[in-house]
Amino acid sequence: MSRVTAAIERHPRAAFGAFLLLHVLVWTALAALLYPNLPLDLIEALTYGREWQLGYDKLPPLPWWLIELVRKFIGADMGYYALAQLAVVGCFALVWLMARPLAGPIGAIVSVLIIDGIHYFHYTAAKFNHDVIQLPLWALAGYAFHAALRRGRILHWILLGLAIGSALWAKYFVVVLAAPLALFLVGDREARKSLKTPGPWLAIGVAFVVMGPHLLWLVQNDFLPSAYANARAAPSRGLLDHLLRPLAFAGGQLGFLAPALFIGATLWSPRTGGDAVGTGAAASADDFDRRIVTLLAFGPAATMTAMSMLTGRGAIAMWGYPLWLFLGTWIVLASPSALSSARLGRVVATWAVLFVLYVVAFAANYSVVPMLDRRYRAAFYPGEALAVKLAGRFHEATGQPLGYVIGKMWDGGNVAHYSSERPRVLIDGEPRRAPWIDLDDLRQRGAVVVWTDSDPNVMPTTLAAEASDARVQPPFTLLFRRGDQVLHVGWAIKYPSP
């Protein structure tokens, strides 16, 4: 370990680059090797993204567009997992850039190693989705906000506007970031001076220009995704929920943060010893820097907790994804002693142990544990076999290629992705969920109706709105890709009707 820390001290940039490369390679390879079937978030992205809409009924389109671009230019499933890790290391790079002038290059590395203890950045980030794409955009916003306040350059204010505006295209959760930044500009004595300059107002203008097309789509579509958001956040059942639900969210986040806090705790023990190699209590950050970092580290989480407290609505634990990007920087700046070689060694060693434990846990969960608990795992779903069988049988029955599939997102999306014909999906059989589908074309070309969660001999009424004339076919079964679980498939053919 002494040789490792010596190498980090001599070449901190190279060491940070090696860390980023290791992160991308390990977590991309793990997902590619252990996920024989794409997870739900990616199946959903491939179903929605190909339609290139300005908005959808659930969430903003940015991550789905990115997945579709990867499909077009790379085409391999590994590309989707690599995209997730590129988003993560892009976030890390921006956190490092912000922390470097405050804590030195080695202190900045420690800042990133601390937050890498949170499973948001690896174990669950393998499934690229709206949470993952928030990470680099929120990190860019934090970097730009600090740089704009400290240097006053117009470029940084523009970057802040771009980050906030782009983050809306990623997830509407961006309000939890924008609100504390705005309050800080108004409430902090130093930050308030910037309001007399054009910078903050330019940032607001840029943000709204970037958001504009999607905001217009929301207005034109009666804020369609709000129904999904309301369904996700459990409504208040009474006064007690205003206390219990924010406490439950905060408690869940504290549990997720425990490994990161364990890494950070090594900066406190022992309280003396060794020559400084970075910065701890002796950081170059002044009081204003520390207030900004404190805001970035805790402001969004406090805003989320306050919203839950005011509304009494439930907050999902995974909403914490982008909340803690600057926690490591805050811990480094708050540490009571300078960052010595010994402390750096303990940080690296603790991080390395946790990194290996996460890798082992991930590998075990998708290799050994399934043989013991027999729990359903979407990654083992026989999506390719389902797609090949349904497309082949439709062709045999009609003489036509499969152009459409009617089914739930999971079943229909798997058929759409793994079939060489790439049929489009009428999600849940409801035209309002897929308004881009030309129903006349669907009737002319026909479709397959598929369901796997009810009696395979009876087509669910929820799928029958546009398939009432479909003929139910003999059901069949498929083995999951791993284990001995069996998928019971019900299906029907809606014959072409020129």
pLDDT digits (tens, 9 = 90+) for 165-200: 999 999 999 999 999 999 999 999 999 999 999 999
Question: Comparing 89-103, 264-278, 336-350, which segment has the lowest mean pLDDT?
Answer: 264-278
Query: What's the whole-number average pLDDT of the chain?
Result: 92
Q: How many other CB atoms are there within 10 angstroms of residue 214's CB atom?
A: 18
pLDDT above 80 for 271? no
For position 280, what pLDDT does the model report? 42
For position 313, what pLDDT does the model report? 82
pLDDT one-digit tens code per residue, 70-126: 999 998 999 999 999 999 999 999 999 999 999 999 999 999 999 999 999 999 998
Radius of gyration of the chain (CA): 25
Question: Comparing 9-13, 208-212, 445-449, which segment has the lowest mean pLDDT?
Answer: 9-13
Q: Which residue has the higher pLDDT, 158 or 8?
A: 158
Residue 442 C-alpha from the chain's centroid: 33
For position 274, what pLDDT does the model report? 53
Interatomic CA distance for residues 272 and 470, integer angstroms: 76
Contact 437, 483 (CB under 8 A): no
CB-neighbour burial class of residue 306 (10 A; exposed 0-12, middle 13-18, buried 19+): middle
pLDDT above 90 for 457? yes
For position 279, what pLDDT does the model report? 45
Instruction: For residue 295, give every residue at least 6 positions away whose Cβ sits within 8 Å of its Cβ, in sequence order, or none.
Output: 180, 181, 184
For position 277, what pLDDT does the model report? 56
pLDDT above 70 for 276? no
* Average pLDDT score over residue span 155-173: 97
pLDDT one-digit tens code per residue, 224-261: 888 877 777 777 787 888 888 889 888 999 999 999 99
282 pLDDT band (50/70/90 cuts)? very low
Contact 359, 30 (CB under 8 A): yes
Q: Which residue has the higher pLDDT, 332 or 484?
A: 332
Contact 284, 102 (CB under 8 A): yes
For position 186, what pLDDT does the model report? 96
